[in-house]
Structure 1
Amino acid sequence: MKKLLFPIAILILFIVAIYFFSPSKVNTSEPPIYNPADLNPALVDLSLHDIGQGHRVMDFSLINQNGDTITQKDYDGSIYVTDFFFTRCPSICPLMSFNMAQIQEIFKQDDELKLLSLSVTPEFDSVAVLKKYALKYKANPSKWNITTGDKDHIYTLARKSYFAVLNEGDGGLQDFIHTPNFILVDSQKQIRGIYDGTKKEEISRLVDDINSLLKKQRSQLSAK
């Protein structure tokens, strides 16, 4: 009898392990929708502090590494990750761009996922400079736009649209922002997460959240 109980016990443990550790049991809950009232008030413009629902990222007009004008229309219906960087940055930006390149590689077959990087020093980061930077990180322009544009417009996007940086400064000549944050935006232009783009565990969390949103979006499309 004892000889029979042992293999039965092993079989039960095996079944339990499959149940709890199978892919279907991995946490697939989608990330929450973030509105200004949900975030650190220091990241949010005072005029937006009380907005608890309905926030959508602003429309934008930027110039990418190929000299093409990039607008919100190029991201309509897409899930995307945004960051703010500058090519002369010797500290966090190279790691951020490396991690963006890793995300591009992970989701290279997923047309629904795009990336958007905005230079915070557009006076230095010309199209030619961005082109060289994009080649360094193998940025595919159909997937990852590395952009420049009007400084005030970019800083307004950072502070009042994506909430990527502390709400200080006016976008003028002396204004400067520096943030490691990656912002995840869904296909409805809603913020779904803010992550430290320099930390491996945060990138893993971001990848999980992207997969969750992609799964939901595909499910919705297939149901139509």
Structure 2
Amino acid sequence: MGIKRRSISALVPVAVAAAIAIWLYLGKDKPESSLPVYQPNGLNPEYVHPDLRHIRANHRIGDFSLIDQDGDTIGPENFQGKLFVADFFFTRCPSICPVMSRNMEKLQAYFREEPMLKLLSISVTPEYDSIAVLKAYANEYQAIQGKWHLCTGDKEHIYDLARKQFFAVTDEGDGLLQDFIHSPNFILVDPDKRIRGVYDGTKDEELERIISDIEKLLESEYADPG
């Protein structure tokens, strides 16, 4: 019995060392994205519905149903297993929207051959932005079918998405073209439907930052196993 006990004791350090070596080997070349997961309580309260401002954990983008520039129904299933960048806009916007759309076009060009990334732009004036209007706008910014969805839909549904899911509009409007004011934000959503970044879509430096963050996620948390 004494011999067996000594043999087992001698093997314990060897097993521990082997486990540590395997752990180091498997993790040494895998970079950490270090990107936060954003929760409603950590975002600008101006854009968060009052009922949700206390939430500190487990927020995910929920179900939605929209119609894109090609007349296709768009929902979470279109982004299954994908990263995507969302924004809110309207085609008659004379100020920030053209800049945002141009930067979305640049994002599309940069990640043109990356199947893991898609884009979603949602109109805050669906009563004006019909499928035909969105199609013309999509053509102007060279939106690729299936890559960049520019969407319309039920106004109340879009409002709930903006205030309770993506946190991208206020509830104050001018009563004319907009019943609510949208932000210039690009919202980065991961395949687990979590918000991983919020960026000012009108600024070049923010465009560089979102590209860098997308690449971090693609290289670490959502790297192609093949």
Task: Using structure 1 for the length normalisation, give the TM-score.
Answer: 0.81
SS at match of 1:192: strand
- Evaluate the alpha carbon distance shift between residue 35 and residue 167 of structure 1 in structure 2; reply closer, same or farther with a 3 A threshold: farther
- The residue type paired with residue 100 of structure 2 is M
Q: Do the aligned residues in 2 keep the contact of 1:44 with 1:167 (CA within 8 Å)?
A: no
In structure 2, the partner of 1:71 is 75
What are the ranges of 5 or more consecutive residues in structure 2 without an aligned counterpart?
1-30
- The residue type paired with residue 133 of structure 1 is Y
2:162 corresponds to 1:154:
no
In structure 1, the partner of 2:205 is 201
What are the ranges of 5 or more consecutive residues in structure 1 without an aligned counterpart?
1-26
SS at match of 2:86: strand
Equivalent of 1:35 in 3, 17, 39: 39
Cα distance between partner residues in 2 of 1:89 and 1:57: 26
Quote the offset at 1:107 in angstroms. Answer: 0.3
Identity %: 57
CA-to-partner distance for each residue in 1:149-181, whole Å, 9 max, x for gaps?
001111111111011123557x9x972223211
2:50 corresponds to 1:46:
yes
SS at match of 1:55: coil
Cα distance between partner residues in 2 of 1:64 and 1:32: 30
- Evaluate the alpha carbon distance shift between residue 148 and residue 187 of structure 1 in structure 2; reply closer, same or farther with a 3 A threshold: same
In structure 2, the partner of 1:5 is none
- Evaluate the alpha carbon distance shift between residue 215 and residue 41 of structure 1 in structure 2; reply closer, same or farther with a 3 A threshold: same
Q: Do the aligned residues in 2 keep the contact of 1:116 with 1:144 (CA within 8 Å)?
A: yes
Quote the offset at 1:142 in angstroms. Answer: 1.4
Quote the offset at 1:218 in angstroms. Answer: 4.1
Cα distance between partner residues in 1 of 2:163 and 2:87: 12
Equivalent of 1:212 in 205, 211, 216: 216
In the comparison of the two structures, how many residue pairs are matched? 195
Task: Using structure 2 for the length normalisation, give the TM-score.
Answer: 0.81
- Evaluate the alpha carbon distance shift between residue 214 and residue 116 of structure 1 in structure 2; reply closer, same or farther with a 3 A threshold: same
Equivalent of 2:179 in 175, 180, 183: 175
In structure 2, the partner of 1:140 is 144
Cα distance between partner residues in 2 of 1:30 and 1:120: 32
- The residue type paired with residue 222 of structure 1 is P
Cα distance between partner residues in 1 of 2:202 and 2:168: 14
Structure exhibiting the larger radius of gyration computed from Cα positions: 2
- Evaluate the alpha carbon distance shift between residue 58 and residue 167 of structure 1 in structure 2; reply closer, same or farther with a 3 A threshold: farther
- The residue type paired with residue 225 of structure 2 is S
CA-to-partner distance for each residue in 1:195-221, whole Å, 9 max, x for gaps?
1100001111111111111112443x5
Cα distance between partner residues in 1 of 2:164 and 2:130: 24
Q: Do the aligned residues in 1 keep the contact of 2:33 with 2:220 (CA within 8 Å)?
A: no
Quote the offset at 1:92 in angstroms. Answer: 0.6
Within a 5 Å distance, the mapping from 1:37-116 to structure 2 comes to: 37-116=41-120
2:225 corresponds to 1:222:
yes
Cα distance between partner residues in 2 of 1:193 and 1:167: 22
- Evaluate the alpha carbon distance shift between residue 174 and residue 138 of structure 1 in structure 2; reply closer, same or farther with a 3 A threshold: closer
